[in-house]
Amino acid sequence: MKYSIPFRIWHWLNALVVLGLLATVFLRKTFLSWRANSEILLNELAKIDIEITSAQAKVLAKAIRAGMWEWHILLGYALVALLAWRIYLMFKDSSNKESFLSLSLHKKMVHLLYYFIYATLIFMSISGFIIYFYQGLGLLKTTAHDIKELHELAFHIILYFIPLHLLGLVIAEFRDEKGVISSMVHGKT
Ligand code: HEM
Ligand code: HEM
C-alpha cells in the first residue's frame, strides 16, 4: 500500500479546501469585486433616479461581498486543521516514506516541490490569521496591509502549483508511472 486511507482522505480534503480558498479569491476579484459592483450600483440606481455617493456604493458593494468572503476564513480554519493533521501523519503514517536520498533525481525534485508547497501553505495560514486578527494582536493597519501584500504574493505560488501538479501527474502517467493518479484513490502502487 503506497498511500494509507488517512493519507488519501487528507490529500483530497486538502485539495478541496485549497481549491475552495482559490474560488473565494476568484469571486472576490471578479463577480463580487467591490470596484465593479459599486459602479453597477451607482449606474443602476441613477437610472431609477436614486443618487448615492461612491463612498455609499462602496459600502453596499462590500456588504454584498461579505457573506461570500466568510468562506475564505472558514476554509482558512479548515486549512490549519488539515496542516496539523498532515504533520501528525508525517510522524505516524508510513505513506510515501522512502528515504529522500534513495529517490531518483527526478523524484527528489518532485518532493522538493511538495515541501515548498507545504511551506507556502503554512505561510498562507500564519499570514492569513495575522491579517484576520491584526487588531487583537495589537498590530498597526499598515503592518497588516504589508502582510496582506505578502499573503497575496504567495497566493500565486499556490495558483501556479495546481496546473503544474496536474500536468506533472499526466506526464508521469504517460511515461513510467502508470496509475499514479488513481493510486491517490485506491492507495496501491
Ligand atoms: C484535483 C486534482 C488532483 C489530483 C488528481 C491530485 C493527485 C495527486 C497524486 C496522484 C499525488 C501523489 C503524487 C506522487 O506520488 O508524487 C498527489 C500528491 C500531492 N498533492 Fe495532489 N492532486 C490534485 C490536487 C491537489 C491540490 C489542489 C493540492 C493543493 C495544494 C494538492 C496537493 C498535493 C500535495 C501537497 C501532494 C504531496 C503529498 C505528499 O507526498 O506529501 N493536490 N496529488
Ligand atoms: C491556500 C491558501 C490561501 C490562499 C491562496 C489565499 C489567498 C488570498 C488572496 C489572494 C487574498 C487577497 C484578496 C484580495 O485582496 O483581492 C487573501 C486575503 C486574505 N486572506 Fe487568504 N488565502 C489563503 C489562506 C488564508 C488563510 C488560512 C487565512 C486565515 C484566516 C486567510 C485570510 C485572509 C484574510 C484575512 C485576507 C484579507 C482580506 C481583506 O483584506 O479583507 N487566507 N487571501
Q: How far apart are alpha carbons 18 and 14 in whole angstroms?
A: 6
- CA 119–ligand 2 middle distance (angstroms): 16
Q: Which residue has the cell 494509507?
A: 4
- Residue 31 CB–ligand 1 contact under 6 Å: no
Q: How far apart are alpha carbons 100 and 91 in whole angstroms?
A: 15
Does the pTM of the predicted model rise above 0.85?
Answer: yes
Probe residue for ligand 2, chosen from 13, 18, 21 as the CB with the greatest number of ligand atoms within 8 Å = 21
Instruction: Express each pLDDT in 77-98 by its tens digit.
Output: 999 999 999 999 999 998 877 8
* Ligand that lies nearest to the alpha carbon of residue 159, given by its number in the listed order: 2
| Model pLDDT, residue 99 | 87
- Residue 18 CB–ligand 1 contact under 6 Å: yes
Return the domain boundaries, the chain: 1-97, 99-189
Question: What is the identity of the amino acid at 18?
Answer: V
- Residue 139 CB–ligand 1 contact under 6 Å: no
- Cβ-count burial of 167 within 10 angstroms (0-12 exposed, 13-18 middle, 19+ buried)? exposed
Q: Are 42 and 57 in contact (CB under 8 A)?
A: yes
Instruction: Express each pLDDT in 107-155 by its tens digit.
Output: 999 999 999 999 999 999 999 999 999 999 999 999 999 999 999 999 9
Q: How far apart are alpha carbons 169 and 162 in whole angstroms?
A: 11
* Ligand that lies nearest to the alpha carbon of residue 186, given by its number in the listed order: 1
- Cβ-count burial of 14 within 10 angstroms (0-12 exposed, 13-18 middle, 19+ buried)? middle
